[in-house]
Structure 1
Amino acid sequence: MRILDDADVRAVFDLDTAIASQRAAFLALGRGEAWQPGKILGGHGDHPDTVFCYAARLDGRTGPVCKFGSVNPRNVERGLPTIHAVVTLLDPDTGAPVALMDGTALTTLRTAAASAVAVEALASKATDRLLVLGSGVQGRAHVRALCHGGRFERVSMWSPTPANLATAVAELRAEGYEVEAVASPEAALASAAVVVCATLATDPLFPAHALRAGTTVVVVGSFEPHRHEIGPDVLAACRRVGVDHAPTARHTCGPLIAAGQVPVVELGHVLTGAATGRDSEDDIVTYLSAGLGIQDASAAWSIHDRAERRGVGRTLDWRTEHPALRPIT
């Protein structure tokens, strides 16, 4: 059994690999090849944290994958990622555990990479401005993923916490991204081709009338019923509402639940050509990401296969009387 910690995952899971894994995940889902059951979400009374469990299988060639973890909003104050998780992979034939890996970097990268796939499939050809609302781990990851390949001429970022915004902008600028901080979403919405909502907001961040024609809104923080980064007015203004998986999104995404029976199109069906993402360059389109086990499954097997080839990680030998971690030689 291969053990991969956060550094191991990051060593083999670069942006190109992450984006390819997410395209493969949604293509498999769109073609009906993947097993994607409902996910488990829960909490405990007034405790603000959310426990989750995602299981899925990409196809018959790769084994089942399960991710178990929690969302801890107070981690922002601790300087920690809000999401921590572990991911387990089973052999496709025997069912034996073949890998256990840290799920934090995996989740961060696969979420942003999936948004990059969605933007490629759904967004207009406009490249003038990317606006990211949220300066946390996901906000920064989305700047990196969506700017991969130099699509946008300008990048703006907003956060309700000025200190966090300043830190994020400084970090991204040090990495070579020309990011400007804006004082409010309205300051940049009128000129944004793509707007990313990467917060844990429970109230809408902006009204629909602030969006310009042709905008694509990517919503990644509204993966629970009580989270509403956008309101029903934004969905009503959309020509298309894209989702990662219709049954999951309708059950878990706050904006969809609040809006009622809004017609949706799945990203996998757009990628396979079974559906269209937009009819014209002036359409307003929203993509809601509930987060799926199939995304983790595709990412995890990409990580495992690359780690195997490169000898990254450690192995746990179940056949010895006293199993112990040993370096791979």
Structure 2
Amino acid sequence: METLLLDPDDVTASTEMGEVIDAVESAFGAYGRGDTQMPAKSYIDLAQYNGDFRSMPAYIHADDWEAAGIKWVNSHADNPDNHDLPTVMGTMIYSDPETAFPLALLDGTGLTRLRTGAAAAVATRYLAPEDATTLGLVGAGIQADTQLEAISQVRDIQEVLVSDVRDEAIQAFKEAFGDEFDVRGTSIAETARADIVSTTTPVREPIVHEAGENTHINAMGADAPGKHEIADEILTTATIVIDDYEQCTHSGEINVPWEAGLLDDSDIHGELGDIVAGDVTGRTSDGVTVFDSTGLAIQDVAAAHVIYEHASEHGIGTEFALVGTDT
């Protein structure tokens, strides 16, 4: 028995975004029902290298499939300048829950972008107005591409408003998606009035200070204490849905106003998993909704499940003997 090696091109070739979204939705539902195991993300701090390692393991028992795996990911801020390497790199080990055999070793960097976009799409499916047609993207980096690809699977997106401090990033985004969507670069203020908004920046001072009357916001950028994209005046009046209580209150979009005492348990509508499982309602009335996404290991495992199954079926990737089978 051999392990399947899937490099970045293999992961891309094995990705059906609609299937990834459905799998991530199933994973959230399993999480809401208590049919997952997901230990807290662990960190190895390497201050001498201005970086860290993070391990993210999970097991999912969904309705008609089960999966297990672990993502080993880093953040080394000096890599681009000093070593010509990406700041963030990830590796995913996807395993058979019954035998523990490592079925696949996958590029985790592209997988992370996919599952993050899929999570926003799941939240959008339950929280955005059904007739939403405009998408605002605050930040025009690589994650913005995946946000558009995923969200356009669950809503009929026609117009895309993009804001970024880099004009060249907006221009590159327009060139990439202008033939399929009506793409327009504009201010953050106008971008944030779209029907659906996704924020994907690393800022520590809020840059979104207003939203449309019924806007749904996917707050995707905050993943560490102190990061904060959405102004408190929006968060304190919006319907807030989170992916995980411990992670969001510690390092999600709500972490700063939470620490300041501006938000507490009464301000959280529920976790997305509880909404998918049917225990908490999604959008039922007008108003601003916010999904606070910190990224969960179950999303990585769900995406890896889809990618592995597609790659195996279509002969994508390279098989190699990672584990000896002698007993």
Please report the TM-score for the alignment, with normalisation by the length of structure 2.
Answer: 0.87
Matched, 1:185 2:188: yes
Residues 216, 185 of structure 1: CA spacing in aligned structure 2 closer, same or farther, 3 A cutoff? same
Partners in 2 of 1:46 and 1:213 — Cα distance? 47
Q: Please state if 1:86 is matched with 2:91.
A: yes
Secondary structure of the 2:47 match is coil
Identity fraction in percent: 26
Distance in 2, Cα, partners of 1:41 & 1:229: 24
In 1: Cα distance, 2:138 partner to 2:241 partner: 19
Deviations 1:66-119 (A, max 9, x none): 001123566788998653200002221222322111011111111101111110
Which residue of structure 2 aligns with residue 23 of structure 1?
Answer: 25
* 1:219 and 2:209 aligned: no
Distance 1:21 1:83, change over 3 A: farther
Whole-Å separation in 2 of the counterparts to 1:34 and 1:85: 22
Amino acid at match of 1:250: T
2:248 equivalent in structure 1: 249
Structure 2 counterpart SS, 1:86: strand
Counterpart for residue 58 of structure 2: 56
Aligned partners of 1:142 and 1:70: how far apart in 2? 22
- Is 1:229–1:255's contact at 8 Å kept on the other side of the alignment? no
Secondary structure in 1 matching 2:178: helix
Matched residue, 2:275: 270
The corresponding residue for 2:102 is 97
Letter in 1 for 2:223: F
**Alignment match, 1:231:** 231
Find the aligned partners of 1:157 and 1:82 in 2 and give their Cα distance.
Answer: 24
Q: Which stretches of structure 1, 4 residues or longer, exceed 6 Å deviation after superposition?
A: 74-81
Distance 1:201 1:136, change over 3 A: same
Residue ranges of structure 2 left out of the alignment (5+ in a row): none
Matched, 1:71 2:70: no
Q: 1:71 to 1:17 in 2, by over 3 A?
A: farther
Secondary structure of the corresponding residue to residue 275 of structure 1: coil
Name 2:205's counterpart in structure 1.
203
Residues in 2 aligned to 1:53 and 1:220: alpha-carbon distance in whole angstroms? 20
Q: Aligned pair in 2 of structure 1 residues 233, 124: CA closer, same or farther (>3 Å)?
A: same
Structure 1 pair 81/117, CA: closer, same or farther in 2 (3 Å)?
Answer: farther
Q: What secondary structure sits across from 1:237 in the alignment?
A: coil
Tell me how far apart the structure 1 counterparts of residues 279 and 217 of structure 2 sit (CA, whole Å).
22
Q: CA deviation at 1:279?
A: 3.5
Superposition deviation, residue 233 in structure 1: 2.3
Q: Which residue of 2 aligns with 1:312?
A: 316
Q: Distance in 1 between matches of 2:75 and 2:219?
A: 17
CA contact (8 A) 2:228 2:256 kept: no
Confirm or deny: 8 A CA contact 2:11 2:106 kept in the other structure.
yes
- Which residue is 1:327 aligned to? none
Tell me the distance in 2 between the aligned counterparts of 1:303 and 1:225: 32
- When the two chains are superposed, the root-mean-square deviation of aligned CA atoms in Å is 2.5
Could you tell me how far apart the structure 1 residues matched to 2:252 and 2:203 are? 12
Distance (Å, rounded) in 2 between the aligned partners of 1:224 and 1:205: 17
Contact 1:135/1:164 (<8 A) preserved: yes
Please tell me whether the aligned partners of residues 227 and 251 of structure 2 are also in contact (alpha carbons under 8 angstroms). Answer: no
For 2:36, what is the secondary structure of its paired residue? coil
Q: Unmatched 5+ residue regions in structure 1? A: 322-329
* CA shift in 2, pair 1:319/1:51, >3 Å: closer
- Between the aligned partners of 2:204 and 2:51, the Cα distance in structure 1 is 14
**2:112 aligned with 1:110, yes or no?**
no
Deviation at 1:45, TM superposition (A): 3.2
Report the secondary structure of 2:214's partner residue: coil
Distance 1:101 1:127, change over 3 A: same
DSSP-derived class of the 2:236 partner: helix
Stretch of structure 1 that moved more, 49-58 or 23-32:
49-58
Q: Shift of residue 52 of structure 1?
A: 2.1
Match of 1:14 in 2: 16
Distance 1:148 1:79 in 2: 35
TM-score (norm 1): 0.87
Q: Is the 8 A contact 1:130 1:156 kept in 2?
A: yes
